[in-house]
């Protein structure tokens, strides 16, 4: 982990530790939503930012994880946090099945397919697949999570749980970017043809990125289900996928700090301007348009390494 990210994490831990002491329950709940969207956007960032695959159906994986937790906790009475890895596994398996036939598609074509995938999942949930999803009414009575024998109920308690998971995600995904797998995804994003020519199995790495991002979105679905105690298909509609896509692009595709900043702006700004009623969405949309025109790479874009002339000369001499 680089020094800047380590310092940012330390500063984030300090701020998060004191936030519940300074904010009321309403704003703590807003920050809980920011944390959940940050988790989802970070999971999408693996697919969109790192691998360069357009995915506009990410809410489908989120829904699979949330419904897996809801079914296991209400029907089989498993503790909610025990379902966390199971929800991630269910979303990963679903991603592997639906992405394998279409992973060779590029750009807009893959984008259109993922939109259809997300809508198919939502419609299937509405139609009460196998009699397990509760139809349009959804599922009720999801139990609260229990940590070390203590049941989490209050917004401040969920705040620490959600943001602890966010910090763990930032650490793990930063390690992932520095790994061989992360570097392969970077080559894949920058030039798929050159990556394949250098020996990278592009299909396998694309599918792996999809599965990993889906697994993390599924686990975020567990936290959402535990926080709300009730879920319905409308919680995972197309707009959710659009918001996640916007967060990644606005913050800076491939940039972990940028994705978190994007989540803060997309979730907090509409709440801050709630007093302007319907006009707040118009103002928010105009701000987004201006940003996309004058800052196309995002607010905190991914910094690519720069090679100095002496480094290039050294590499040339080594040939």
Tens-level pLDDT at each residue, the chain (319 residues): 566 667 766 777 777 778 887 788 888 999 999 999 999 999 999 999 899 899 999 999 999 999 999 999 999 999 999 999 999 999 999 999 999 998 888 878 999 999 999 999 999 999 988 888 999 999 999 999 998 888 898 989 999 999 999 999 998 998 998 899 999 998 888 888 888 888 889 999 999 999 999 999 999 999 999 999 999 999 999 989 988 998 998 888 888 988 998 899 888 877 777 766 566 667 667 777 777 777 777 777 776 655 444 444 444 444 4
Phi and psi, residue 151, nearest 5°: -80, 125
How far apart CA 221 and CA 150 sit, in angstroms, is 21
Is-contact 92 218, C-beta < 8 A? yes
Is-contact 32 268, C-beta < 8 A? no
How far apart CA 147 and CA 177 sit, in angstroms, is 30
Distance of CA 226 to the CA centre of its chain: 17
- Residue 187 burial (C-beta neighbours within 10 Å; 0-12, 13-18, 19+): middle
CA distance to 107, 123, 250, 255, 288, per residue, from 293 (Å):
20, 35, 11, 19, 9
Please give the pLDDT value at position 194.
Answer: 86
Nearest to 44 by CA among 251, 225, 271, 291: 251
Global confidence as pTM = 0.88
Please give the pLDDT value at position 78.
Answer: 93
Is-contact 80 225, C-beta < 8 A? yes
């Amino acid at each position: 982990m680089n020094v800047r990210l380590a310092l940012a994490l330390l500063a984030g831990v300090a701020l998060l530790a004191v936030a519940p002491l300074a904010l009321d329950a309403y704003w703590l709940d807003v920050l809980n939503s920011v944390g959940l969207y940050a988790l989802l956007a970070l999971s999408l960032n693996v697919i969109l930012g790192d691998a360069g695959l357009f995915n506009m159906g990410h809410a489908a994986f989120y829904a699979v994880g949330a419904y897996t937790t809801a079914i296991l906790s209400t029907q089989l009475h498993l503790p909610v946090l025990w379902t966390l890895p199971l929800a991630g596994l269910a979303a990963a398996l679903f991603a592997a099945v639906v992405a394998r036939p279409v992973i060779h598609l590029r750009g807009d074509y893959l984008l259109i397919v993922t939109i259809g995938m997300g809508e198919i999942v939502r419609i299937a949930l509405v139609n009460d697949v196998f009699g397990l999803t509760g139809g349009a009414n959804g599922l009720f009575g999801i139990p609260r999570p229990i940590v070390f024998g203590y049941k989490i109920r209050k917004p401040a308690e969920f705040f620490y749980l959600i943001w602890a998971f966010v910090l763990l995600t930032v650490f793990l995904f930063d390690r992932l970017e520095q790994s061989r797998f992360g570097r392969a995804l970077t080559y894949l994003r920058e030039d798929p043809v050159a990556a394949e020519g250098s020996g990278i199995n592009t299909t396998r790495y694309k599918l792996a990125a999809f599965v990993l991002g889906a697994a993390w979105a599924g686990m975020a679905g567990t936290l959402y289900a535990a926080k709300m105690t009730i879920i319905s298909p409308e919680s995972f509609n197309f707009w959710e996928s659009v918001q996640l896509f916007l967060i990644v692009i606005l913050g800076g595709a491939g940039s972990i700090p940028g994705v978190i900043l994007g989540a803060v702006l997309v979730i907090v700004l509409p709440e801050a301007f709630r007093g302007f009623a319907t006009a707040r969405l118009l103002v928010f949309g105009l701000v987004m348009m201006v940003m996309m025109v004058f800052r196309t790479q995002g607010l905190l874009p991914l910094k690519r390494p720069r090679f100095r002339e002496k480094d290039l000369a050294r590499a040339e001499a080594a040939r």
